[in-house]
Structure 1
Amino acid sequence: MAVHNIFRVKALFKNLFLALVLPLLIIILWQIASDRGLIKPSIFASPETITVSFDQMVEKGSYFKHVTASLGRVIYGYIIGSMLGLVLGSLAVLFKTFGKMVDPLIGILRPIPAIACIPFFILWLGIGEASKIGVIVIGAFWPVLLNTMQGIRSADPKLLELAKAFGKTRKIMLCKIILPSAVPAIFTGLRLGISGAWTCVVAAEMIAASAGVGYLISYGRELAQPGTLFVGIISIAIIGLIIDILVIKIQKKTLYWVDQED
């Protein structure tokens, strides 16, 4: 058992090393190019400048204010959007009449990017929190809706026919066959939905906000502070990666039988 744990730790460190090699190499080359004047510091801030800007924002307490503002909007909008996607997606497949009514509407509205709705929400709801959350709801809604519909439709028809032959009720078939088979696709939708929500909050904050990671990027651009701008961009990447890792961890814990089958 101890030997097995040692091998797991070694594999973990090896994977971590391989994951960090390329980013560290890029940062080193980036700093060297900045020091030698190959990159204009007024346009492309060096890693050292970005680090200084980050330290200053942390000392002032403004950095965590922006991050928590964005995360709060994302969580609120994501919960609303994903719940709507789950409910409407399930109803659209389980009730054919409702599905026939909804399908044309999905076909019309789906191609419209969530970011394109920002001006409409600002006109409708103002520049407050409601307009930003509305955009996030749309960003989370479509991936969850479409993957929920696909997951429920992918239930094995042979199992459904067998359940009917044994006289199982619709409720039992839903709980024992349809929903369990749809869970992997639903989790895929939830994962895509949180990514969409994070993208939408940044876009909304860049247009109309007084706090948030998107506002940080816009602020750095307007005041010609590339260090501040890059702090915002890097924060988007790191926070997005952390969110994605957490969702994958939850997915693996919830769908443990899928890993066992693989």
Structure 2
Amino acid sequence: MTSDAESSLLAAPVPGRPVRWDVARASGLALAGVALLFGGWGAASLWLDNAILLPSPWAMLRGFHEVVQDGTLLVDVAASLKRVLSGFSLSAFTAVPLALLVVSFPSLSQLLLPVLSLLRPIPPIAWVPIAILWFGLGDHPSYFVTAVAAFFPIFLNALGGARAVDSQHLRAARCLGARRLSLLRFVYLPSSLPHVWTGLKIGLGQSWMAVVTAELVAARSGLGHMIELNRLQLETPRVFVGMSMIAIIGALMTSALGSLEARIFPWKKAS
């Protein structure tokens, strides 16, 4: 008969084995899902037998090779990323301070929140015609639409984080002589950072989707413009190339933000 300590040691799993198994299983299922997607796509393309309506995966790969060779893909990807990062940065540097100020100044909250509540339900795509009227064609409508798309997720999450600050922390800071600006800097902002980060992740995803919409009608470059131009020319494989690049870049941005979150807020992963 073994002791309790020996029994617990025998029952304990080998360190590292379950983690490796879970990673391998998840990777295998992900690859199987991708294989099913391409297999179903190829079968549907063969059954339909119409390269304009639904090209095969191999035709899309040939189109990908062509746009890489002629350099247009790199130009369009760079243009879309520039617009997204510009509009997203503008929203981030506007929405976070505004949310903290709204929490700190009740009169500002009463002034702005009703207006923002009216504007929030308007989808970013509805701003595209207005952006074209205001800014014309080119980059500026895309900057505006991506900024609008990112603003509300960032603002609302920052606002929720600031409102969730522990009241004991506020009382302690006030007892030490902290005034409003000091409270914003040393209490509200640090406490709301996890919520702000969530808003940044959502806002970046919304901006990425919005920029493609804006580029479909208001730009002369970018992945949205690439999709629309090739649709008009009946180059459907290149349309699918543009769609695939949107999906891949969006997934990479989400993964990058998740990795940064694990480094900046390690306790969230632990919890």
User: How does the TM-score come out when normalised to structure 2?
Assistant: 0.87
Tell me the SS of whatever aligns to 1:44.
coil
Task: Report deviation, 1:5.
Answer: 6.9
Change (3 A) 1:33 1:104: closer
Matched residue, 2:52: 42
Task: Report deviation, 1:168.
Answer: 5.2
Range 171-180 or range 86-95, more displaced: 171-180
Please state if 1:57 is matched with 2:57.
Answer: no
Give the conservation status (yes or no) of the 8 Å contact 2:165–2:188: yes
Range 26-35 or range 196-205, more displaced: 26-35
Matched residue, 2:146: 136
Matched residues, percent identical? 31
Please state if 1:24 is matched with 2:54.
Answer: no
Range 3-12 or range 45-54, more displaced: 3-12
Matched residue, 1:103: 113
Matched residues in 2 for 1:172 and 1:62: separation?
50
* Aligned-residue RMSD, C-alpha: 2.1
Task: Report deviation, 1:10.
Answer: 5.6
Matched residues in 1 for 2:176 and 2:73: separation?
60
Matched residue, 2:166: 156
Q: How does 1:196-235 map to 2 (within 5 A)?
A: 196-235=206-245
Q: Aligned match of 1:145 in 128, 135, 155? A: 155
The unaligned stretches of length 5 or more in structure 2 are 1-13
Q: Aligned match of 2:44 in 2, 13, 33? A: 33
Task: Report deviation, 1:128.
Answer: 2.0
Tell me the SS of whatever aligns to 1:150.
helix
Decide which structure has the larger Cα Rg and report it: 2
Matched residues in 1 for 2:49 and 2:18: separation?
43
Matched residues in 1 for 2:235 and 2:130: separation?
30
The superposition leaves residues 99-143 of structure 1 with CA deviations (integer Å, 9 ceiling, x where unpaired) of 111111111111111211111111111112112111111111111
Which residue identity lines up with residue 212 of structure 2 in the other structure? V
Tell me the SS of whatever aligns to 2:162.
helix
Tell me the SS of whatever aligns to 1:251.
helix
Q: How does 1:180-259 map to 2 (within 5 A)?
A: 180-259=190-269
Which residue identity lines up with residue 169 of structure 1 in the other structure? A
The superposition leaves residues 206-230 of structure 1 with CA deviations (integer Å, 9 ceiling, x where unpaired) of 0121111101111122112211111
Which residue identity lines up with residue 131 of structure 2 in the other structure? F
Matched residue, 2:4: none
Give the conservation status (yes or no) of the 8 Å contact 2:100–2:188: no
Matched residues in 2 for 1:103 and 1:7: separation?
49
Task: Report deviation, 1:33.
Answer: 3.2
Task: Report deviation, 1:23.
Answer: 1.4
Tell me the SS of whatever aligns to 1:15.
helix
User: How does the TM-score come out when normalised to structure 1?
Assistant: 0.90
Matched residue, 2:84: 74
Count of residue pairs the alignment pairs up: 257
The superposition leaves residues 141-179 of structure 1 with CA deviations (integer Å, 9 ceiling, x where unpaired) of 111111110110011224434555x54524665455433
Task: Report deviation, 1:72.
Answer: 0.9
Which residue identity lines up with residue 96 of structure 1 in the other structure? P
Matched residue, 2:94: 84
Which residue identity lines up with residue 19 of structure 1 in the other structure? A
Matched residues in 2 for 1:144 and 1:242: separation?
20
Please state if 1:169 is matched with 2:173.
Answer: no
Which residue identity lines up with residue 93 of structure 1 in the other structure? V
Which residue identity lines up with residue 14 of structure 1 in the other structure? R
Matched residues in 2 for 1:4 and 1:219: separation?
54
Give the conservation status (yes or no) of the 8 Å contact 2:104–2:184: no
Matched residues in 2 for 1:258 and 1:182: separation?
13
